[in-house]
Structure 1
Amino acid sequence: MKIRILIAAMSAVAVQALATTDLPIEVVEVIGDNTMTKEQQLDSQSTLSKPVQDAGELLRSVNGVAATRRGGRGFEPIIRGQSQNQLNIMTDGAYTFGACPGRMDPPTAYTAMDNFDQLTIIKGNRSVIYGAGGSGGTLLFEHKRPEFKDKNYLGSIGLGYTSSSESQDGSANLAFGNKRAFGRVFGDVKSSDNYEDADGNVTASSFDSSSYGLIAGSDLNNQHYLQLSFEGVSEDDVWFAGNGMDSPWTDSETARLKWVYSGGTLVDSFELSLYQSNVDHLMDNYSVRNRMPMNENGMAAPSSSDTQGARWLANLQNGKAEWRFGLDHRANDRSAELYMDAGKDGNYNMLASIMWPGVEQQQTGIFAELDYQLNDQDLLRFGSRVDQFDANATRADEPAGMMGSATPNTLYQNAYGVTASDQSDTDLGLVLGWDHKLSSKTVFSTNVSRSVRAADATEQFIARSAMGSSWVGNPDIAAEKHQQLDITVVSRGETQRWSATVFWDKVNDYIERYNLETATLYRNTDAKLYGIEVDGSRHLSDTLSATAALSYTRGESDNGDLGQIAPLEARFNLDYQRDQWAAGAELVATTKQDKVNPVIDAGETDGFTVLNFYSSWEPLKSLRLQAGIENLLDEMYAYHVNAANSDPFNPDPVRVNEPGRRIWLKVRYAF
C-alpha cells in the first residue's frame, strides 16, 4: 500500500477535536501517516460538541495546542509553545493579519467557523508550500466545493445558547447549483454578556459579532475552474479583561480569486490564487466602558492592517515522484496611532504616539517539494524554499507627543542606537522527511527542517510612549532561525488508534521581549523548545469508546524560561453512542506551571481538573439537538497562557479566569 508523508492524517487527536466542537467542520491533524481513507476519517468522527466563540478557542481541544483568553473573543492559538506569526494561518489560501497592536484580534478572530468545511492542523514545519516561517505550525481553514446529488441545493440553520454569559448565536448556510457551477451564501451572528467565574466574579467578556460571505465557482471547461469569494466580519462593543482598552468596533473584509488548471502537458495541474484582506480597528478606554473615572476623556487607538498576496502552485506526478513547486508573495501594511485626551464625540485631540508608523512588510518566495516513493515501505520528502523579506517604517520621522517633537526614530535611537531604514534579507528554508511502514497498521515518521520567521510589525517597529512608559520595537532585529526535529509513531487498527511524538526546536536569534526600567524592548537570543505528545482511542464496545491525550512543552532561552508555555496537560473522554442518542464526559487536567517569564506571564499558575458533560439526540436525520454542562464541578481555574487582567481598577496582574459552571444548548437543521 502506498503511503504519503505528512499531508492530511486523522489521528485520535483529531477525533478528540471533533468530539468537542460545535461545528460541522472537519478537523484534520497532520502527524505523519496518511493511510487512513476519507471514509475512515468520517466514520471516526463524533457528533458531540460544546460551545466555542472563535477558531482560536476551537483549537484548545487539540492535543498540544493552547489558546490565550483575553475576554470572550480573540483567542490566540499556541502550538507547541509558539504563536502569533510563528504560525501560518490561512483561510482559503489568504492571510489576514490583525490590526490591534495589543493582539485583541488574532487572525482566528476573523474566521467564522460555521462557514468553513475543513480545518487542517500541521504541527511544526513539515512543508514548504504554505509560505515562509510556520515554525510552530500551519492552520488551513478551507471551503470545500459542494456536492449536489439528487437536488440542486444544500443548506443548514443553527441556533445556540450558553448560560452564565447569556450567549446567543445563529448561523445559516445555503448552496445551490449543479455539477458544473455553484453559488453559496452564509452568515452568522453572535452576542454575549460578561460571564462569571466559579467564585462569581464578573469577567469583562461581552461582545457582539456578525459575519457574512458568498462564494461562486464554475467549471469553464474540462480543464479550467474559476472561483470568487468575499467575506466580512464585524465586531462591536468587545470587552477585554486582558487588555488595557476595549474595542468599540472592528471590521474585516477578504476577497479571493482562484483559478485551477488541470490536464496540462508540462504539469498535471496548477492553482493560481489572489487575495486582499483589510482590517480596521478601534480600541479605547471610554466608549465601551469608562475605564478612566477621573477624566472625562481618555485614550484611543485607531489602527488598520491591509494584506495582499498571491500564490502559484503546480503539481507534477512522474512515476514514484510527486513534485509541488511554485512561488508566493505577501505584502502587509499596518498603521496605528495613540491619542490622548480623546473625546467621546469622536475627536482625537492630541497625537501621543505613532504606534505602527506606516509599517510595510513584504515576503516573496520560490519553492519546490518532492515526495518520492522509494519502495512499498518507505517514502521520502525533500523540500526547499528561498524567501526575500523586506520591511520599512514610512512614518518613522513624523513627530508626535505632547511637544510634537518625539518621532518613532527618536524612540528607536534612544533604545537601540539605530533608526528605521529599508531592511532586506534573503533566507533559506528546508524540509527533509522519511516515513517508514513498520507494519500494515504502524508507521514511523521523522522530519527535519529549517525555517525562518521574520519579525512582525510590533517586534520591529512598535513606537509607543505614554504615561511615563514606552514600548519600542527593534528596527535592526534579526529573523528567527528554527532547526527542528520531530519523531512520530502512528498506529491504527480496527478498534484502536494511538500516536506518540517527540519534538525539538533549536532557535537562533529568537525574538524575545524584555523590560528595561520603564521600557518594553526586543532583542535576539538563542532558545530551545522541546516536548512530547501522546494520544490514543479505543472502542470498548459497539456503543462505548474512550480517548486519552497527553502533551508537554518546555521552552528555555539564554535569559531564562520562555513565556506563554502551557504546562503538562491531559484529556480523557468517554463517549456513548447508540442509534440517535449520544452522550459523553470529558476530563481536562493540568499540572502547576512554575516555569514562567516575568515579562509576559502573570506569575505561576495552579493546576486544575475540570469535568464537562455533553449529549446529542437526532430525532430526524436532518435535525440534531445538543446539550451539555461545562465545568460541571464549578472549578475556579485559568489556563496558564490566559492574558493578565489589565483593568486600571485592578492594577495587580491577575490571569483571566475561565467561566464557572455553564449550561449550553444547540440545535442544527440541515436540508
Structure 2
Amino acid sequence: MLTSIEKDMDVIRKVLPVAVAAVISGQVVSGAALAGHNDENTMVIEITSGLPQVENTVRNETAAVQASPTTDGGDLLKSLTGVSGIRMGGRAIDPIIRGQSQTQLNVLLDGAYVHGGCPNRMDPPTAYSSVDSYDRVTVIKGNQTVVYGAGGSGGTVMFEREWPLFGDNGYTGDLSTSYNSNGERYELGADVAAGSEQGYVRFISHKASGNNYEDGDGNEVRSSYESLSNTLLAGIRLSDNTTLEGSFEKAEEEDVLFAGAGMDSPYADADTMRLKLNHQFTQGALRQMELELYRSEVKHNMDNYSLRPAGMMQMQAPSTSDTDGLRLTFDAQLADIDWTFGTDLQNNDRDAELQNKAGVISRLLWPGAEIDQQGVFAEAEKAIGKDDVVKAGLRYDRVTAVANRRDEVNGGFSPQQIWEMAGAPADAGEKKTENNVAGFASWTHRLNDQYSVETTLSRSVRTADATERYMARMTMTGDWIGNPELEPEKHHQLEISLQSNDGYLNWSASGWYNRVDDYILRQSVAVSAGMGMKDRDIYRNVSAELYGAELEMGYQLAENWALGSSLTWTVGNNLDDNTDLSRISPLELTTSLDYNRDRFQAGVELQLVDNQNDICLSGSANCGGQDVRATPGYGIVNMHAQYEYPSGITLVAGVDNLTDKFYTVHESRGDVVTGNSFQVAEPGRSVWLRLSKSF
C-alpha cells in the first residue's frame, strides 16, 4: 500500500490515547491503494517548493514531517516516527533511529557518503544536507536492504535528486525564504533548472543564518551559525536508453557555536563530486545498469578561543575526512523474480590533530585513519500468488583498516603508545582485515482486503569507525582512547508488523527485537593521574539487546478534518554488565488534528514525551555511560497554517512550542570529555513564517 501526501500539505500526526510525546508539524495523508508490494519500514519524503511531502510505502498512516523551517537534514528527520536526534547547538542534529546512531546508520547524500570531519560529531553527514536542495528523502528503518552499503543496522537514509521535469517553456524553479523569531533565523533558497528530456543544467543555492536562541526559561543558548551551500548539476541523454549526470556541491559552515561542546567550529567545509551513468536494457533478463562514482572532501576545525572567551589552555583541532566511492548496480528479471545485484567500494581517510593556538601538535586524534570497504550484494523479490511476497538479500564485505600515523610522536607519546596504555597490543594500529556477511529475508502476507502482515529476519554487520578504533586523546584531566582491536557489531533482528487499511481509518503496529553480538560500547573508567584519578573513555565489545514497538494511526474525521497519532517505545540493555544502554529515546506520543479545504490547510499538534529513568550516567563514578541525567517528561504544542495562492506562491506560518515550555530531549548531550555534563535545552516559543514560489 502507498500512502501519499498532497503537495505542500503540513501534517501533524498520529493519535493514540497514551500520554507521551512532543510536538511537530507535518502534513495530512490521503490514503491510496496501489497494487504491488512495498517495504514496510520505508518512508519517502518528497521535497516540493521547499516543503516536504511524505509517503510511507506500506502503511496508510498519517506521516508527520516538521512544517516549520528546518536547520538541516537531521532536524527534518527527527520529526518522523521512531527517529530522534542529538543536539549540541542550533544545527548539526545527529539522527537516531530505534536507539542507533552515527555509523549504525547509512546516510547517503545523492548517492554519496560524506563522512564528517569532526571527531566530536559537530558535523554529522546530515549537517551538509540543505533540505531544500533535494527532491526526495527516503528513510528505511531497520535492516531492510543490502544495496546501499555495509552496516545500516539502525536504518538507511537517502537524500536524493532527480532529473528535473520541464514543461513547454523548458525551465523550472523554486524560490523560498523563511524567518524564525527565536534566534532571528532566516533562510534563502533558489533551485532553478533549464533543459528538456535530452539534457539539463540545474543550479541550487541555499543560505541560512541564525543567532543564539532562547530556551523556555528565557536563557540564551549558544547556537548561532552561518551556512551556505551551492550545487551545480548537469545531465545529458547519450541515447534513448542511456543518461549521464554529474554534479559538484560546495557546503560551507562558519562560526557555528555549540553549547554542548568544549569548543566551537570556526569553519566546516565539504566539497562533493558525483557522476552517474544509467542504461536501460531493451532485451534479455537485464533491465537496468547504474554506475555511481563520488568523492567527498571535508575540512573542519574546532577551537576554544576564537568564538568564545579564551581560557588558559587555548587549543584547536583541525581535521580532514576524504571519501571515495563507487556503486555498480544491475536490475534484472529472471524466473519471475526481480533481482538487484552489484558491487560497491568505499575508502575513507581521516586525519585530526589537537594543537595549541600556534599550531604545535600535542596529540593525534585521528592518526591517519584509513578504512577501506569492498562489497558485493544481491537482492531478490518474488510474488507468490496474489497474497504473498517474499524478499531476501545477501552481501559480503571485506574491510581493511589501518592507522598510518600510529608511530608519530607528539607531546611525548605516539598513538600506538597511548593505545598500549589502555591495554592494546604492540601491533594495534597495523592493518586489520574483516570478512563480514550480512543479509535479510522478509515475507509479506495479505490476510484480506484490509489487513496485511510482514515479518523480517536480518543480520547486519557494522565495522568500527575511525573514532572507535583510533582516537588517541590523552590529557592530565581526562582521556578518550580508541580500541584498534574492536570486533565488528553483529545485529540479528526480527520484526513483525501488522497493517490495516480501512478507508477512513488506517493504522499499523510493529514490534522488533535486535540481539547484538560485539556491540561497541563507549565507557568511562577511572585511572590514576599523578597523585589523583581521572576518567578515561574507552571502547569495548559487549553483548546487547535493543527492542521496541511503534503504533501509528490516521483517521479521516470528516471531509476536511483528519486526526493522526503515533506512539514509539524503545529499550536498550547492556547484557554483559546488566545496565541500560545510553541515549535511548523515552516513550513518545504525538497527536495531531489537521484541517484542509481547497487552498487552505491548518493544524495543531500535541507531543508528549515520558521521563527517561533507564539510564547509564556518564563518568566512572557512575555507570560509565553517556547519559547526562534522568530526563523529566514534557509536553509541547505546535500550530501552523498554510495558504497556496493561484499564482503559485505558498505562505506558511506557525508557532512552535506555543506555551514556551522549557525542556531537553533526553538524547541531547554536553561534552562529557571536558566535564560539561549538561543537556542542551531546546528552543522556547518560536514564531515562524515561510514564503515560496514555484514556476
In the alignment, is the contact (CA less than 8 A) between 1:489 and 1:501 conserved in 2?
yes
Change (3 A) 1:581 1:417: closer
How far off its partner does 1:27 sit?
3.5
- TM-score, length-scaled by structure 1: 0.93
Change (3 A) 1:172 1:205: same
Asked whether 1:329 is paired with 2:362, we answer: no
In the alignment, is the contact (CA less than 8 A) between 2:103 and 2:465 conserved in 1?
yes
Q: Distance in 2 between matches of 1:142 and 1:47?
A: 17
Match of 2:679 in 1: 655
Give the alignment of 1:82-231 within 5 angstroms: 82-231=100-249
Q: Distance in 2 between matches of 1:93 and 1:168?
A: 28
In the alignment, is the contact (CA less than 8 A) between 1:119 and 1:140 conserved in 2?
yes
Match of 1:533 in 2: 550
Q: Distance in 1 between matches of 2:81 and 2:140?
A: 12
How far off its partner does 1:331 sit?
0.5
Give the alignment of 1:255-266 within 5 angstroms: 255-264=273-282, 265=284
How far off its partner does 1:45 sit?
8.2
In the alignment, is the contact (CA less than 8 A) between 2:179 and 2:185 conserved in 1?
yes
In the alignment, is the contact (CA less than 8 A) between 1:48 and 1:626 conserved in 2?
no
How far off its partner does 1:22 sit?
9.2
How far off its partner does 1:23 sit?
3.5
In the alignment, is the contact (CA less than 8 A) between 1:25 and 1:116 conserved in 2?
no
Matching residue within 439, 448, 461 for 1:452: 461
Q: Which amino acid in the other structure matches residue 133 of structure 1?
A: G
SS of match in other structure, 1:220: strand
SS of match in other structure, 2:586: coil
Asked whether 1:424 is paired with 2:442, we answer: no
In the alignment, is the contact (CA less than 8 A) between 2:626 and 2:672 conserved in 1?
no
Match of 2:400 in 1: 390
Change (3 A) 1:141 1:18: closer
Q: Distance in 1 between matches of 2:188 and 2:444?
A: 44
SS of match in other structure, 1:644: coil
RMSD: 2.0
Q: Which amino acid in the other structure matches residue 520 of structure 1?
A: D
Matching residue within 305, 309, 315 for 1:286: 305
SS of match in other structure, 2:570: strand
Change (3 A) 1:212 1:379: same
How far off its partner does 1:291 sit?
4.3
Match of 2:594 in 1: 575
SS of match in other structure, 1:49: coil
Match of 1:462 in 2: 471
Matching residue within 367, 380, 387 for 1:370: 380
Aligned length: 642
Asked whether 1:338 is paired with 2:362, we answer: no
- TM-score, length-scaled by structure 2: 0.89
Match of 1:27 in 2: 54
How far off its partner does 1:390 sit?
0.6
Structure with bigger RCO (C-alpha 8 Å, 6+ apart): 2
SS of match in other structure, 1:655: coil
Q: Distance in 2 between matches of 1:647 and 1:425?
A: 30
In the alignment, is the contact (CA less than 8 A) between 1:464 and 1:471 conserved in 2?
yes
CA deviation string 1:408-450 (max 9, x = no partner): 0001111023231110010110110101111223321110000
In the alignment, is the contact (CA less than 8 A) between 2:505 and 2:553 conserved in 1?
yes
How far off its partner does 1:175 sit?
1.1
Task: Compare 660-669 and 466-475 and name the one that shifted more.
Answer: 466-475
Asked whether 1:320 is paired with 2:336, we answer: yes
Change (3 A) 1:357 1:461: same
How far off its partner does 1:566 sit?
0.6
In the alignment, is the contact (CA less than 8 A) between 1:328 and 1:365 conserved in 2?
yes
Match of 1:669 in 2: 693
SS of match in other structure, 1:109: helix
SS of match in other structure, 1:355: strand
Matching residue within 564, 575, 586 for 1:547: 564
Unaligned runs of at least 5 residues, structure 1: none
Q: Which amino acid in the other structure matches residue 248 of structure 1?
A: P
Asked whether 1:381 is paired with 2:353, we answer: no
User: Sequence identity, in percent?
Assistant: 39
Asked whether 1:602 is paired with 2:628, we answer: yes
Q: Distance in 2 between matches of 1:647 and 1:454?
A: 24
Match of 1:563 in 2: 582
Match of 2:644 in 1: 618
In the alignment, is the contact (CA less than 8 A) between 2:493 and 2:513 conserved in 1?
yes
Change (3 A) 1:29 1:457: farther
In the alignment, is the contact (CA less than 8 A) between 2:285 and 2:333 conserved in 1?
no
How far off its partner does 1:97 sit?
0.4
SS of match in other structure, 2:468: helix
SS of match in other structure, 1:620: coil
Q: Which amino acid in the other structure matches residue 239 of structure 2?
A: N
Q: Distance in 2 between matches of 1:312 and 1:514?
A: 39
How far off its partner does 1:29 sit?
4.2
Q: Distance in 1 between matches of 2:79 and 2:63?
A: 14
CA deviation string 1:350-390 (max 9, x = no partner): 31110000000011111111101111111111210111011
CA deviation string 1:92-127 (max 9, x = no partner): 211010000000000000111101010111000011
Unaligned runs of at least 5 residues, structure 2: 1-33, 527-534, 618-624
Q: Distance in 2 between matches of 1:467 and 1:46?
A: 47
